[in-house]
Structures are given as C-alpha cells and as structure tokens.
Amino acid sequence: MLSLVPGPIQTYFSSDTLHIDATDAARIEAEYPIEFLNTLSFNGYPEHHIDLKVFTPIMLLRNLNPAIGLCNGTRLMIIYLGHYVIKGLIMGGTFNWKTVAIPRVVLNINDNRWPFVLKRRQFPVRPLLRHDHQ
C-alpha cells in the first residue's frame, strides 16, 4: 500500500485532447468535455491521475528505448520524481540496477467505443502499489 511508504505523494495528471475530423469537431468536443475524457481508462495505457512516491515500484507501459532496458513491462524503483521526468532503477534482467529517466509522452488511444482518438500526455507507467483512498 502506498500509504505505508514514507514520504510525500507526487500526483501527476495527464493532458488529454481529442484528435478528430474537422467536420465533427464542434459536436464531438461539446459531447465529450475534457472532464469526461479524464475519467476514461484503457488497458495498457496510463491513467489520467497517477499517485507516486520515491522508493515505490512502477511498471513501464511502453517500449521507450529497448537498447537501455526501457521496454514494455520493465519494472523500476522510483528514485526521483520531477515535473518532466521520473528517474528509476531497473529491477531485474540484463539492465538490473541501471538508472534511467522516463519522460512524459503523448499516447494516441484509438478505441472503437468512441468516435475520436484520445491523445493522452502522461508518464507511461503504472504504479505497482495501490493507493488506499480513505
């Protein structure tokens, strides 16, 4: 549980935008406001709202740079939480204990349930410790 780890929680929010056909833009933007887009959750993609702490484990959700060990599914321990970058130590494998930096990236989410492509700018990570909301 995240609350058992000492230290402050750093909260990261995504920047969500729509990529849509210009002819439907006004209608779709009115039907799907940003507040609604922020509630959407997709398998294999980061959440809009991520709570992290230093010395907690995370899993990388994208291949960022396989040559240095940043592959989908890589587990890391956070050692630094910045505004533009997260630094972590890779846990396991060929790159065990290598220090790496993870930037925020823009991910295009195309789901057939929605008449748009969601562009989510967020750190491509998932916390491996759950946040216990009270």
Closest of 74, 71, 98, 73 to residue 87, by C-alpha: 98
Is a pLDDT exceeding 60 seen at residue 134? no
Closest of 122, 129, 107 to residue 13, by C-alpha: 122
* CA atoms of 9 and 117, how far apart (whole Å): 31
Dihedral pair phi/psi, residue 24, rounded to 5°? -105, 0
* CA atoms of 73 and 92, how far apart (whole Å): 11
pLDDT digits (tens, 9 = 90+) for 61-70: 999 999 999 9
Q: In angstroms, what is the C-alpha Rg of the chain?
A: 16
For residues 68 and 26, which has the higher predicted lDDT (pLDDT)? Answer: 68
**What is residue 133's predicted lDDT score, i.e. its pLDDT?**
57
User: Could you tell me the pTM of the whole model?
Assistant: 0.90
